[in-house]
Amino acid sequence: MNDKKKQKTTTTSKSSLSSSAKIKTQTKAELQESVAQLEKKVRALTELNRVHKRKIFDLYTIFEISRNFNTLLDYQQLLDTFIFTSLAQVGSMKAAFYLSSHDKDNDFILTKFKGSGKFPSQRLSFQSGSKMLFNLTKINRPSKIEDIINSTANKNEKEILSFFHNGLVVPLLFQSELSGLFIISDKLSSREFSDDDIEFLSILGNQISVAIENTWLFEAETLASKQLRETQQQLVHSERLAALGEMSAKVAHEINNPLGIIKNYILLTNKLISENNDAVEYLDIVNDEIDRIAKIVSELLDFHRPRGFELQQIDVSKLASSVLSLMSRQFEKNQVLIESSFDPKAPEIEVSPESIKQVFLNLIINAYDAMPHGGKLQVTIKTLKNDISIKFSDTGPGIPPEMIPRIFEPFFTTKDPAKGTGLGLSVCYGIIKKHNGSITFYNQEIGGCFEIKLPLINEDRSYEPNI
């Protein structure tokens, strides 16, 4: 090989060496780039995985929370649980429920609140039909208080919202209707609510609306069945009393005639025997006892056929005052204080004054009998929506609860046979029923109370005796 050729060969091998080095460097850089990209992808995937894991955790939490809400049937407990859960989950310090007042205005009133700092007065409510509420219903997602204040809130709404810092308003919708608002604010570490928080509260908001409606329905149902049970019990009780009264009145009717005959024969016998005969004294005793029977019989008859049942428009307060003044001397003697509080605006009502007087007298005498060592009788007259309420409350011993269901039965008495016949209250019951009213008794902390309710307008004016 000549020198020239040798040199060419050397140059060629040198250049091939440098190009292979170049390729190597390039591949290395490309590899590094790929590794970097791969690492980036792995990081992104790890992050995505973390987000998904968090989402799954959140969904699981929401699922558990919702399940918990749906098992709660107590309204107050449900609201409490919701507030505590929300505060803990999004790390906030303050939350409040504004729920429908369920009255004719249907405003949203402060129903439950928890947390630190000041809350708006309960007097302030969100009035239904406002622009802000309309907008929140339309959006149906949690909205930032700041945005609401700057857009749709009116003066009253701004005043309420100003109590909640950096807060969110979550509209609560049931069947597309706004049933309330949940406000949450004052996030710990004073950060803003994240998108995750908003998402979380939005889902929870939907859940709670249904749960609230369920508790409402459950409570309404419980109340309705309680009222139904009470009405049924009252019906059974009043039917029993009516049957007892009717039977007693029929018996009384039958006794009345022979009594009259016996009385006449006593008179005739009296005339036949000489004055200083012992028999005169015995006949007097018989006569007195016959009079006692006659009194009981006439009271029994009153149960179904009250005497002098003529309806008149009267002022019940005046009637009560006149009966009280009739008894005042006796009360004073026995150190029983009379206190009366009568509604001066109570309207006149249509009643049989004689019969109502008889009722008042019976209740006052019973109260007097219940306080043999003195005490206080309080008579209160109030006007209610459809009735006038007249209460007679005393400071006596009251009535043992197991006896209360029997006190209106004819002949139920705890008094000495010479003192009580057990007819007074059954007669009162009959009279009040004939006025389409009610008479009830309940024990108080001290003593007992009879409450009479007489309708302001009496539609049934016939008052035909039943027998």
Residues of the shown chain interacting with ligand ADP in the complex, contacts defined by CB under 6 A: 362, 366-367, 370, 394, 396, 399, 407, 412-415, 420-426, 448
DSSP states of 212-230: HHHHHHHHHHHHHHHHHHH
Name the token pair of 166: 């950096």
| Cβ distance to ligand ADP smaller for residue 78 or 377 | 377
Determine contact, residues 458/273, Cβ cutoff 8 Å. no
| Cβ distance to ligand ADP smaller for residue 78 or 323 | 323
Residue 227: CB minimum distance to ligand ADP, A: 27
Residue 124: CB minimum distance to ligand ADP, A: 47
Which residue number has the CB closest to ligand ADP? 424
| Cβ distance to ligand ADP smaller for residue 17 or 403 | 403
Q: How far apart are CA 435 and CA 353, in angstroms?
A: 11
Q: How far apart are CA 137 and CA 180, in angstroms?
A: 10
| Cβ distance to ligand ADP smaller for residue 407 or 439 | 407
| Cβ distance to ligand ADP smaller for residue 157 or 394 | 394
**For residue 407, how far is the Cα from the chain centroid?**
29
How far, in Å, are 135, 244, 421 from residue 415 at the CA level? 71, 20, 8
Q: Which residue has the tokens 């309960």?
A: 122
Question: In the chain, helix, strand, coil percent, each to 5?
Answer: 55, 20, 25
Residue 393: CB minimum distance to ligand ADP, A: 9
Determine contact, residues 396/414, Cβ cutoff 8 Å. no
Residue 302: CB minimum distance to ligand ADP, A: 12
Kindly state the DSSP code that residue 347 receives in the 8-state scheme: P
DSSP states of 356-380: HHHHHHHHHHHHHHH-TT-EEEEEE
Residue 445: CB minimum distance to ligand ADP, A: 14
Residue 354: CB minimum distance to ligand ADP, A: 18
Residue 409: CB minimum distance to ligand ADP, A: 8
| Cβ distance to ligand ADP smaller for residue 203 or 399 | 399
| Cβ distance to ligand ADP smaller for residue 180 or 424 | 424
Which residues does 417 contact at the CB level (< 8 Å), separation at least 6?
none
Q: Which residue has the tokens 């919708």?
A: 173
